[in-house]
Structure 1
Amino acid sequence: MTRRLLTTLLTGVALAAADTALAAPAACPKPARAGAAQAVPVIHYRTASIDGVNVFYREAGPANGPVVLLLHGFPTSSHMFRNLIPLLADRYRVIAPDYPGFGQSGMPDRTAFTYSFAHYADIIDKLTVMLRAPRYSMYVMDYGAPVGYRLAIAHPERVQALIVQNGNAYTEGLGAFWDPIKAYWAEDTPARRDALAGLVTLETTKFQYTDGMSDLSRISPDNWTIDQALLDRPGNRDIQLDLFRDYGTNVPLYPKFQAFFRERKPPTLIVWGKNDKIFPESGAHPYKRDLPDAEMHLLDTGHFALEDKLDVMAPTIRGFLDRKICK
């Protein structure tokens, strides 16, 4: 047998094995028995170097468990999932990254690094490959929606399920809040850009955590204190303004996102804060056009729903995953 033929055969075997591994469902560790003592999941705080940038991520759960990828919004980080992670990690392998410029990830200078949703999707894609997570369910929120949906249209076979929380994929969801940002998309001028500077101030950051919440006593001030400290780093304001402009590149992809929903029909759970002024309830209902079997829960809360409704959302999310992923 020639060396070339042997190499060809071995390559074919390796590719077949990889395809089989991708198609096979992940193992589902059994949950603790009712009334049994349950170990507290350990959360690991790690950093991976991707394209020369340090990407921070939280990881917890069994190494052989189905992967749940948590994709955060603006202006926060994986910190938004700190309370949810331990409630899933006894059975699921939970991975929650920070995008560059957010949280504990690196913040390279914008002259040397492209801050865009396409780049973020590429980095998260490389992170999942590095962490050997070839299939995953995605929790997408705010910025996490276009990042996650870009991943989905690039690798539709990898997506096992969707959990959508105030994350947009339809023009109906871009209401009055977005008018100044749309003006910036239409006319990229210093005046249009400067008009958005108020979106990175403490007043707006606190507004995102408090507006529309049903019980403000549940909302920790640590949220806006931490987020604002990171927004106030030298150079970060311009990074965020670049991203406001680049968000406009997601809108032309909405038909592709919607085609993914229709064609792949991933099991989908929608848990939406109906009082959110940034991504209002009007953005939730159109999902049912393309995903008629999606489970929808409209909650009496605002943008960062997990801060207010964790006690409702966690068992809903856990039940959904247990039914759809660990049947």
Structure 2
Amino acid sequence: MLGLFSRTKKMQVQSAAEAKRSTARLSVLSNISLVVMKLAIGFAVGSLAIISEAAHSGIDLLAAIIAYISIKKANEPPDKDHTFGHGKFEDMSGFFEALLIFGAAVLIMYEAVMKLIHGEAALNEDLLGIGIAVMGISALINFFVSGRLMKVAKETESIALESDAWHLRTDVYTSLGIMAGLILIKLTGILILDQLFAFGVAMMIMHAAYELTVRSFGELTDHRLSDEEEARIKKILCDHATDFANFHALRTRRSGPDRFVDLHLVVAKDTTVEEAHDLADHLESDILLEFPRTSISIHVEPCSEACEDCSSLCRIERKQSE
């Protein structure tokens, strides 16, 4: 039975890994096409706003490549030098992506300010319509790809894919903003709007980078699992309250797609080693059904006093009262 469970778990992990890799490849390919398209139209129109969006997509492309590499590395099995696996590579990718985005935002803001100061605002107004269409197409593509990325990220609990999805979702909003700006320029002829909208794009990019930095840094510092996840683990333990006396010292952490759980399980003094081992195996199996990529360590210790965790009393105390 345990062998069947182990094979099923392995197949689930492999299926999730392939889904993550194929989705990451989709992100890379879509970003390549968007960078080429935006750069070509941006320079043809002479629009800093469109070029800034091309730079944004270029950063997204680099982030997608980093995410793809980190996902492949994170799914490698533990080895001699990484006995707990390679999950941290996904967390590291998010942190590096945030630094790249900060750099792109600063560069766009600098260019926008310089053009405002020197009054460089020459646009090819004959091609504005094409620029507007490109921004609309970009928003649609990124909306579709980011939705796909977020869906797979939630299903496989991939931090790298979720970060990439948020990048592209930000691109949707900025592309729509640039499109609105170009429409206003076409209607009003106020060319300075190009620099102002480019600056606005940079501010949105900066905000996204800040949120990504906070999330990725939290994972790099071995932050515990969420309250909801820990509550689910405690519920699984409490479902077997009649089989043990108590549990305590529950600790959790996350490393990329991998979770780590350890706890102390208090059993009656008359419990045999075999019984305690079988109980620990059963609890591990139940936890793994909820969280497939989890490393679980259970320390068994004998009960010495009454306890009320999971609304159960120590079996020794119950025997003494009989």
Q: Which of the five TM-score ranges fits, normalised by the shorter chain?
A: under 0.3
Structure (1/2) with the larger helix percentage: 2
- TM value normalised by structure 2: 0.24
